[in-house]
Copies of this chain bind each other. A is one copy, B any other.
Amino acid sequence: MKSVSIVGGSGYGGGEALRLLLDHPNVEVKQVTSRSHMGEFVYQTHPNLRKRTQQKFSDPSQLETVDVLFLALPHGEAQNHIDQYTKLATKIVDLAADFRLRDAAVYEKWYGAKHVAPEWLSKFVYGLPELHRAELAAANYVSGVGCNATASNLALLPLVKADLIENDAPIIIEIKVGSSEGGAEGNPASHHPERASVIRTFSPFGHRHTAEVIQEMGVTNVSLTMTSVDLVRGVLATAHAKVKAGVTTKDLWKAYRAAANENSFIRIVKEQRGIYRVPEPKILAGSNYADLGFDLDESNGHVVSMCAIDNLMKGAAGSAVQCMNLMMGWDETLGLEFAGLHPV
């Protein structure tokens, strides 16, 4: 049994990591910190964990050494104390945006602030196993992934890897998201009477996660359009791109099948019958799957590639635990077996 602690465990990402780690067969949760909820039972904040743990949120300044440290702080905080955290654990998984981008200038451009610990950027591996499995197995420090970036990157992965799309044509990614993406802190727009039933395009382009798509996919002419819908968990990214001349549906099948074959958590959903013919986030709540689908308009080369995930699982805590498994040399799927529910 390895010891694990979570810094910033009262947020949604931290809470979900906690749930996964409590049930993980190879680890033991030592501490879960929260400045605002210090001393309270974690189940008072995360009511699903009642009767699963009697742990209380502990003081972040009283962190002890562990084998693996999960950082689940608001963006911009982990970089301030990264020297200290690395003294407490040899393996670190950060769920926030602090160490996702390799280039400090790019970080500054998208996050509007100088990075405090740029020398650490190159020490972190981007925490999406489908892109960096081998590096993760050798890594000590793993960054989190943006949930919208993950849905986008996985929607593009088969196309990019098989070199099927035209690089100079723009890639438009329309992303629909649930409310948990906004985090555990409320704001006027998240008040239920205002947030219920919305179809709210809160960002037409320029979302920060775009930087992760550019970095990881090597595409430049890409934009993410963000629309909130009435759902708590879930992201659907619908990517519009143009295939190279001559690319057929058969080529696409080959590329998508390869992605599913090489990755335990990637599934292809492209059915001719039944209710669930395309990827849908609702059935993924709590699961670590990324469901991919696609369609090609052969008349003009317009390909529509879809990826559905649970933003708190594959888009955050699930990928984080998967990365820990890889770093520790364990089976990648350990502790991530929940299939999701139907109906739901």
Contact = CB atoms under 8 A, between A and B. Distances in A.
A250 interface: no
A285 B238 contact: no
B198 A51 contact: no
Given A196-B232, A338-B338, A184 B176 contact: no
A48 B238 contact: no
Interface stretch (A109-117, A140-148, A219-227): A219-227
A60 to B, nearest CB: 20
A285 B339 contact: no
A204 interface: yes
Contacts of A285: 285, 341, 344
B280 A47 contact: yes
A45 B341 CA distance: 12
A118 interface: no
Q: How large is the interface on A (under 10, 10 to 19, 20 to 34, 35 or more residues)?
A: 35 or more
19 contacts: A12-B343, A23-B339, A44-B274, A176-B176, A176-B227, A180-B193, A185-B191, A186-B192, A189-B275, A191-B191, A192-B196, A193-B344, A199-B282, A204-B297, A223-B297, A229-B230, A285-B341, A286-B338, A286-B341
Interface of A: 12, 15-16, 19, 22-23, 40, 44-52, 170, 172, 174, 176, 178-180, 182, 184-202, 204-206, 221, 223, 225, 227, 229-234, 236, 238, 240, 242, 260, 267, 269, 271, 273-283, 285-287, 289, 291, 293, 295, 297, 300, 302, 304, 306, 308, 337-344
